[in-house]
Amino acid sequence: MPETAYKKALTEYLEGFVSERRRGRLNEVLEERTNHITLVLEDVYQSHNFSAVLRSADIFGIQNIHFIENKNKYKISEDVSMGSTQWLTLNRYQKFENNTKACLIELKAKGYKIVATSLHKNSVSLEEIDVSQPFALVFGTELTGITEDVEAMADEFVKLPMYGFTESFNISVCAALCMYNLSTKIRNEVPNYGLTALEKEDIYIEWLKASIRKQDLIIKEFDAKYYALNSL
């Protein structure tokens, strides 16, 4: 049975459990989501930093987040993330010999330019970043920043201006400033920054699920009815 027919039927079924107002809100937010920019967090170890970045990503409409777990496993603090995890697509890299390379190779294969946050001598300001091509914004671990692997594979480096004695921002603050600036720039300069129709379809289903109690039981009941009907 065609997957598109299944998705259509499942969507219509799940919508019956969600109010019209809620469905309207899901579609409103979905229209502003983007994969033109995606975030990569490399070995961030403090859960409140993870969680704060996720919360900001949801607010700024960035759908996909990639976690590189070479040394540190990601752990979410729901008190900080405020439930944002259920609205985002989280991608974990933890099973490879070098999770950093695996992540960046995959993103490059999908057409993403790799932009690393760093005080690298060739770093440019946020205003100088060309956002016409989809790009992945990489943040390193709290104390030491990006690894040599990221530095070697990055296409560009970006930095935030600093005028005080302190030499670095907290990662969640840095990420929020970058997301605000670059997501605004994308919306102003990139005509087709939004999700594709297929991406919207898949994410909308996940959001409907997140809006329903006992979703597993409801989907199990739907599958039983759907496959019984379509096996005749």
- Give residue for tokens 């329903």: 212
Radius of gyration of the chain from Cα atoms?
19
Domain range list for the chain: 1-33+197-232, 34-194
The CATH superfamily holding the domain 34-194 is SPOUT methyltransferase, trefoil knot domain (3.40.1280.10)
Using one digit for the tens of pLDDT, what is the confidence trace for 13-71?
Answer: 999 999 999 999 999 999 999 999 999 999 887 777 888 899 999 999 999 999 998 88
- Nearest by Cα to 43 from 87, 88, 93: 93
Mean pLDDT of 73-90: 74
Work out the burial of residue 116: count CB atoms within 10 Å of its CB; fewer than 13 is exposed, 13-18 middle, 19 or more buried.
buried
Is residue 79 over pLDDT 70? no
DSSP 37: E
The residues facing 42 across adjacent strands are 68
Is residue 232 over pLDDT 70? no
Contact between 232 and 43 (Cβ < 8 Å):
no
If pLDDT is split at 50, 70 and 90, which confidence band does 83 have? confident
Mean pLDDT of 195-211: 96
Q: What confidence score (pLDDT) does residue 73 get?
A: 74
Work out the burial of residue 16: count CB atoms within 10 Å of its CB; fewer than 13 is exposed, 13-18 middle, 19 or more buried.
exposed
Neighbours of 176 (CB within 10 A): 19
**Residue 169 tokens, joined:** 């921002």
- Give residue for tokens 């900080």: 80
Among 7-11, 133-137, 156-160, 191-195, the range scoring the smallest mean pLDDT is 156-160
Using one digit for the tens of pLDDT, what is the confidence trace for 151-173?
Answer: 999 999 998 887 887 777 788 88
